[in-house]
A and B are shown apart, each in its own frame.
Chain A
Amino acid sequence: MLKLHEKLKERWPENVVELHDFRGDETAVIKPEALLRLANFIKRDSQFDMNVLMDLTAVDGLALKWNPRFEVVYHFFSTAKNHRLRLKVRVEEETPTVSSLTEIWPVANWFEREVWDMFGIRFEGHPDLKRILMYEEFSGHPLRKDYPYNKRQPLIGPKN
């Protein structure tokens, strides 16, 4: 009986780069070009039936010297089959871009805005990519490892 991430590799062997199963969390690393196709597949296929996109986030691998630097992480869940899957996509540092999943799961709209705000990763096909957590004139992407934690911001009013 194949597990979920192994079934994905069996169906798309050239697009799935790595598999692991640390502590029972089935994870597959896929190629960025294949993201939309695979996302459509896991939503429609009856064995996967992933109707909920639980979480969309990113990890900056600068301190661990990852190459490519960023990794966008997707968590999927199926209410009917009660199983989970994690997909990861590796993106490089110069103009990082990934396709947007807003057409398939509308909640990706806000999650992708947050990843753009915090990491600077662009999403192609996103209707309105603007900052969501920081104020609009903010410059920089805070969750990157090279952004200092206690950086002071210019304020209106007296000096900070």
Chain B
Amino acid sequence: MTTTPEIKKTRTESMLINVGPSHPAMHGIVRIIAELDGEKIVSSDVEIGYLHRAFEKSAEQGGYLQVIPYTDRLNYVSPLINNVGYCLAIEKLFGLEITERAKYIRVIMSEISRVTDHLTCIGASAMELGAFTVFLYMIKAREFLYELIEDVTGARLTISYTRVGGVKADLPQGFGDKCRNAIEETRKILKEVDELLTRNRIFVDRMKDVGIISRENALAYGITGPFLRSTGVDYDVRRATPYLVYDRFDFEIPVGEHGDNYDRYLCRMEEMEQSMRIVEQALHGMPEGPVLLDTEGNVIPAGEMADQGKRGLIEGLTGQTAAVDPTLEGAHKQNYAGIETDNKRIALPPKEDTYTNIEGLMNHFKMMMMGHGIRPPKGEVYFPVEGANGELGFYVVSDGTDKPYRVRVRPPCFVIMAALPLMINGSMFADIVPTFGSINMIGGEMDR
């Protein structure tokens, strides 16, 4: 006679786990409060706001040009796209068209920034799944691009490169070759990473069918960018409302099917390739800037010319050409016509004019000092740009004075984080890590 053992009735209750603000996923600070039943997530809640740095209030304090360094720090992995978006919004307020060469330069720098963003995202998310080598390879590729950005703008990360009406300085000599070299190196690294990850059993198992979001939910939450494209909707701001010169280039937009993490990874890898294609086409089709500085007589540094002029030694200066400091290279007067608009109320004068003649000095003064500055007409505009995470929009309200009245950034990853509970509820706790990695949440953009 067998007796069946009694199974003691145990009382179960769900456990609340806090994936705290400071956690090893190097993406930024977010707090996810997950209610677990065993290993499955029953419900979750997301808390953000740990990096709120008051961008919108800071923008109201100074002039229009003083907001540009604050915009760098919004999406800090692709800072040029923020700069370009803000300046395009102000130019729309003025109703201003910028020069062709400036448009091409902005496109090239935006696409390079987009590549650095996707490199960082895929590298960091692969590292969290255990593939540390991929992270090292991606950061190595990113270093090539940072050197390129440093040659043009002077800084690696917080560049403040664009100005209202154009860009700050022209591309240096030999940029085309350096750029093509960097792109070739990046392509080699991407090929290696592709071989390491795309058909890797462990990677595919952890990323496929995890973090699924349906097309209707994605649209209901206002999600755009590679996230939306991985669910099957073909929406890209560069195609829908082309800005700058994107309508002249031939590039494809990768669209996924399932809306899971693996599709997002594939979308991002393919987008990097398309961005590099755009850069090559832009380098090929860019209108020529001045190649040789035509100088008559001797070239003396502009500061020295100004000093001598102040002391009254004017006879020696006739026939001399002023040259700016090498640190302002690319901002010579000859380059200026190609990269900045010639509207005196909007663009700063070239430095040679500022230092050597009185009209340039007054022009500079009128643009820079508090109480003066660029004055757009009264009104409001909204300008959407394709950021690396989706549609980055700038809504600017101007009241006719030199300070912006209200600057609003529409953050692409804010809405994705609002939809995060939809993606992780019902799946295992360990699935939070790849899902969160594929979101590419940037704290500076989300919390502003």
Contact = CB atoms under 8 A, between A and B. Distances in A.
| Direct A–B contact in the complex, CB atoms closer than 8 angstroms | yes
Nearest to B406: A59
Contacts, number: 86
A107 B382 contact: no
A55 interface: yes
Contacts of B95: 23
A86 B382 contact: yes
B353 interface: no
Given A105-B220, A143-B56, A110 B382 contact: no
B397 A59 contact: yes
Contacts of A135: 49
A133 interface: yes
Nearest to B446: A133
Nearest to A131: B49
Interface stretch (A5-13, A33-41, A46-54, A90-98): A46-54
Instruction: Report the interface size class on chain B.
Output: 35 or more
Contacts of A22: 379-381
Contacts of B418: 106-107, 109-110
Interface string B384-415: 10000001010101010000011010100011
Contact of A55 (B48, B405, B408): B408
Contact of B379 (A23, A64, A75, A79): A23
B405 A54 contact: no
Contacts of A63: 399, 405
B221 A107 contact: yes
B195 to A, nearest CB: 36
B92 A23 contact: yes
A82 B240 CA distance: 7
B235 interface: yes
Interface of B: 48-49, 52, 54, 56-58, 60-61, 92-93, 95, 219-222, 233, 235, 240-241, 379-382, 384, 391, 393, 395, 397, 399, 405-406, 408, 410, 414-415, 417-419, 447-448
26 contacts: A25-B381, A51-B219, A54-B222, A54-B391, A55-B408, A64-B405, A75-B393, A75-B410, A79-B233, A79-B235, A84-B382, A106-B220, A106-B221, A106-B418, A107-B415, A109-B418, A133-B48, A133-B49, A133-B52, A134-B52, A142-B57, A143-B56, A143-B57, A149-B54, A149-B57, A149-B60
Given A75-B395, A107-B419, 7 more contacts: A22-B379, A59-B405, A60-B406, A109-B418, A110-B418, A133-B447, A133-B448
Interface of A: 22-23, 25, 27, 51-55, 57, 59-60, 63-64, 73, 75, 79, 82, 84, 86, 105-107, 109-110, 118, 131-135, 142-143, 149
